[in-house]
């Protein structure tokens, strides 16, 4: 098996539900069509405007205008345009208020952005795998003299801030930065979580609308997290080797089923599965002898591809190119 890169998202999905991991990361099946608007799409678009502003000095509101103009070309039907306009209003309100909040509070006064949208891969010693992470920003804090990450999120609330120790994303980022830290570079000590609430800030809404908290990663915490990661990666690599061996013998569905029911069994949580898993209807078929692989293909809802393609799917080139073109006019 060739050396592969594994992210916190893949590790977390393996821990959450191995069957979902099998479909998403081993088979590479993902939805064929995106919806023009959603909480996820809003987050991606606001996120892109933040990257453009922090990394390249681009006006974030102008960036959103370009983003939604491009989305309108992709989804030109009247009902799609109406939904996009409604989402754009939310995005503009959230983003404008965020930068007002940053200016009023001096949140960025001591932060120096070192890199934006940095895709980092570090080797896991003794394993045929790298740990991979894409950091929104790598930053240096002038007050503490420490380096870290600045991670942007959009959400309905600040739950992630209240339960940061339960989210493996943040210590994984710390591990990646600590391993990748060049000699003589500032010490890595966690990062900052930056959340914009999905709210229009009307008279009836209740602040706060924005929040930033530091997530500390002591050397002891980083060491423990690296051990957790290695343990999970060993399990993932073992599963991959087993499935690769089956596929090499001809991809017999009966043999595949026997393996996936033992190795990548489902973790069923009724309410969570019903709203969080796009494979909810396929999952039961994988236990009742149905031709679930054929159903995945015939439905037209799924396409096979690189599960890490989103690492290179960025709106930044679009923003920067058109932003610069507009400034030259």
* H/E stretch holding 4: strand 4-7
CA trace torsion 161, 164, 169, 175 (10° rounding): 120
Is residue 88 classed as helix, strand or coil in its secondary structure? helix
Is residue 28 classed as helix, strand or coil in its secondary structure? coil
Q: Tell me what pLDDT residue 313 has.
A: 73
Length of the chain as a residue count: 329
Residue the block writes with tokens 């830290």? 181
- Residue 88 tokens read as 């754009």
* CA dist., res. 305 & res. 202, Å (int): 42
Q: In the chain, what are the domains?
A: 13-28+236-311 (no CATH), 39-105 (no CATH), 111-217 (3.90.320.10)
Is residue 74 classed as helix, strand or coil in its secondary structure? helix
The answer to whether the beta carbons of residues 49 and 95 sit under 8 Å apart is yes
* CA dist., res. 307 & res. 197, Å (int): 28
142-156 burial, b if ≥16 CB within 10 A, otherwise e?
A: eeeebbbbbbbbbee
In the chain, the N- to C-terminal Cα span, in Å, equals 52
* CA dist., res. 302 & res. 192, Å (int): 36
pLDDT by residue for the chain (329 residues), tens only, comes to: 578 999 999 999 999 999 999 999 999 998 888 899 999 999 999 999 999 999 999 999 999 999 999 999 999 999 999 999 999 999 999 999 999 999 999 999 999 999 998 899 999 999 999 999 999 999 999 988 888 999 999 999 999 999 988 899 999 999 999 999 888 888 888 899 999 999 999 988 999 999 999 998 888 999 999 999 999 999 999 999 999 999 888 767 788 888 999 999 999 988 888 888 889 989 999 999 888 888 888 888 888 899 988 877 778 777 878 766 665 55
Q: Tell me what pLDDT residue 1 has.
A: 56
The answer to whether the beta carbons of residues 215 and 191 sit under 8 Å apart is yes
Q: How far is CA 217 from the centre of its chain?
A: 20
Nearest Cα neighbor of 95 from 137, 138, 148, 54 is 54
């Amino acid at each position: 098996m060739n050396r592969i890169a594994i992210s916190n998202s893949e590790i977390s999905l393996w821990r959450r539900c191995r069957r979902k991991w099998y479909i998403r990361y081993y088979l590479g099946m993902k939805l064929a069509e995106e919806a023009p608007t959603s909480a996820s799409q809003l987050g991606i678009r606001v996120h892109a405007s933040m990257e453009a502003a922090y990394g390249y000095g681009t006006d974030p509101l102008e960036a959103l205008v370009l983003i939604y103009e491009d989305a309108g070309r992709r989804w030109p039907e009247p009902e799609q345009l109406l939904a996009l306009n409604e989402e754009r209003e939310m995005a503009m309100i959230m983003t404008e208020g965020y930068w007002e909040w940053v200016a009023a509070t001096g949140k960025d006064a001591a932060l120096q952005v070192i890199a934006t949208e940095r895709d980092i891969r570090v080797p896991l010693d003794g394993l045929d795998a790298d740990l991979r992470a894409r950091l929104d920003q790598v930053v240096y804090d002038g007050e503490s003299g420490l380096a870290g990450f600045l991670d942007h999120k959009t959400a309905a609330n600040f739950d992630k801030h209240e339960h940061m120790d339960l989210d493996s994303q943040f210590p994984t980022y710390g591990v990646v930065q600590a391993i990748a830290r060049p000699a003589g570079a500032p010490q890595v000590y966690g990062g900052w979580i930056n959340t914009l609430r999905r709210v229009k800030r009307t008279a009836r809404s209740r602040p706060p609308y924005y929040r930033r908290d530091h997530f500390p990663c002591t050397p002891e915490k980083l060491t423990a997290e690296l051990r957790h990661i290695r343990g999970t990666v060993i399990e993932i690599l073992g599963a991959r080797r087993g499935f690769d061996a089956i596929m090499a013998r001809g991809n017999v569905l009966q043999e595949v089923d026997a393996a996936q029911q033992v190795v990548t069994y489902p973790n069923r949580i009724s309410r969570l599965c019903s709203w969080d898993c796009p494979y909810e209807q396929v999952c039961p078929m994988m236990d009742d002898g149905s031709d679930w692989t054929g159903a995945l293909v015939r439905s037209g809802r799924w396409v096979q591809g690189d599960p890490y393609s989103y690492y290179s799917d960025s709106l930044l080139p679009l923003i920067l190119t058109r932003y610069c073109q507009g400034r030259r006019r």
